[in-house]
Homo-oligomer: A and B are copies of this chain.
Amino acid sequence: MRSTPTPRMMSLGLSMRGTGYHSAGWRDPSTPDNAELDPGHFARVARIAEAAKFDMVFLADALGMRDLDLDREALARTARVSRFEPITLLSYLAGQTSHIGLVGTASTSYNEPFHIARKFASLDHLSGGRAGWNVVTSLSDDEARNFGRETHFSYADRYERAREFVHVTFGLWQGWEEHAFIRDKQSGIFFDPDKLHLLNHKGKHFSVQGPLNIDRPIQGYPLISQAGQSEDGQELAAETADIVFSIQNSIEGAKSYYDSVKGRLAKYGREPDELRVLPGLQPIVGRTEDEARAKFDALQALVDEGVGMAHLTSLFGDLSAYPIDGPLPDMEPKRSGAAATVIRLARDIARGGDLTIRQLYQALAPGRGHKVLIGSPIRIADTMEEWFRAGAADGFNITPATLPRGIEDFAELVVPELQRRGLFRTEYTGRTLRENMGVRRIGGTQQVTA
């Protein structure tokens, strides 16, 4: 008798921005005051996602205040300026949840591998093996200026440093072998020194002796995620990550990215399913199409023209000479580097939909470029299933317009429909994040090339 093969399931993450992803989310009547800095709000949101059997909650990050380049008038109207630091918030949430993964962003450009390896190991022990590290290389000069530099590292330097950083971190996590700690009260032997290994890494960017002053993470390595869209970003993800978050608006674009990043895995001795691709998705769900549309329209009515225009200005430069109800002119992007991905995306949205300047800032307001799906549970599940079956996504990173409403609606209306279709789990089956997702750690069965 052959056992029935386990059907492939979607992975679902919830990206938690306190006031939601929609630029006017904080103004929605359902959004709590102080949503960005109320720990109870985040605990509630994470527990809703856990009750819905989400794989993980996720925290994006930046190492400085965002939107500093906006003019004062627009700046005063943006809610992204204040937020919890991810590792502290996730450590708090470790005690407020029991099954869901806790994935946080930390930059390789303005950190030291010892601190990052140690903090994620600590979070892994605090959470019983539910930690994940989202590896980023940071975006802006405003971040660089908080760490003694005038400008951000160049693209090439950033990724070279990131690759060494990740390998050092992996090395530190291997400093203590499994079962190194004996703790035999009788004999007085606390641990087996044969299972302790100094790293003694000496590289171009880092020299790190090790070992960590904490036992190996429960998961071996915490889950590794990335969001690399560029060549080097995809390559680093293929070599070192378990999941990639992507920003894709069309199924064609999503499929092409999916194929591109998965096509790189063989080079590192990895199978296609060892790297999960999770595009961002903002569902605006109602019991009917009309209810969903009404929710969306109510949010859009709160979008401020000044904030919207300031956002476009930060992407494309000064647009004041152009009529707001006319087309986006063919201007050069104001920024380079990782921000360029977002800029190209915004351009494609404008061109693809033949949008005016006003329509473009309105289109970017809900998800800042992430795909927005407005409709009934059936319609949203249909699209998710289509992407999943077409090889455009292994799951989704949900970027709700508002919190807690965005996750309440999704958990109540869409998750049961996905479960009914056999696309999503109805129970957690594992103990750790890796067990629940079914992803073994890199290096657990094969060597990472260093």
Contact = CB atoms under 8 A, between A and B. Distances in A.
Interface of A: 24, 26-29, 33-34, 37, 39, 43, 62-66, 72, 75-79, 81-85, 87-89, 91-96, 110-112, 114-115, 118-119, 121-123, 125-126, 142, 145-149, 176, 181, 183, 185, 188-193, 196, 206-215, 302, 304
B88 A188 contact: no
Instruction: Give the oligomeric copy count.
Output: 2
Contacts of A88: 87-88, 91, 119, 122-123, 126
23 contacts: A26-B183, A27-B188, A28-B185, A29-B185, A39-B125, A62-B213, A64-B209, A66-B213, A76-B191, A77-B190, A82-B213, A83-B213, A83-B214, A85-B118, A88-B123, A89-B122, A91-B92, A111-B115, A112-B147, A114-B146, A114-B147, A148-B208, A149-B207
A214 B183 contact: no
Given A65-B212, A88-B126, 13 more contacts: A27-B185, A39-B126, A64-B213, A65-B213, A72-B193, A82-B191, A84-B125, A84-B214, A88-B122, A145-B209, A146-B208, A148-B207, A149-B207
Contacts of A82: 176, 181, 191, 213-215
Contact of A148 (B33, B96, B206, B302): B206
Nearest to A33: B183
B122 A85 contact: yes
Main secondary structure of the interface of A (DSSP, over half): loop
A46 to B, nearest CB: 11
B185 A26 contact: yes
A210 B76 contact: no
A184 to B, nearest CB: 9
Contacts of A75: 193
A213 B81 contact: yes
Nearest 9 pairs between A and B by C-beta? A91-B91, A145-B209, A85-B122, A88-B91, A88-B122, A114-B146, A65-B213, A27-B185, A72-B193
A404 to B, nearest CB: 16
A220 to B, nearest CB: 15
Contacts of A207: 145, 148-149
A147 to B, nearest CB: 6
A39 B65 CA distance: 32
A148 to B, nearest CB: 5
Nearest to A199: B146
A298 to B, nearest CB: 13
A126 B89 contact: yes
Nearest to A40: B95
A149 B27 CA distance: 49
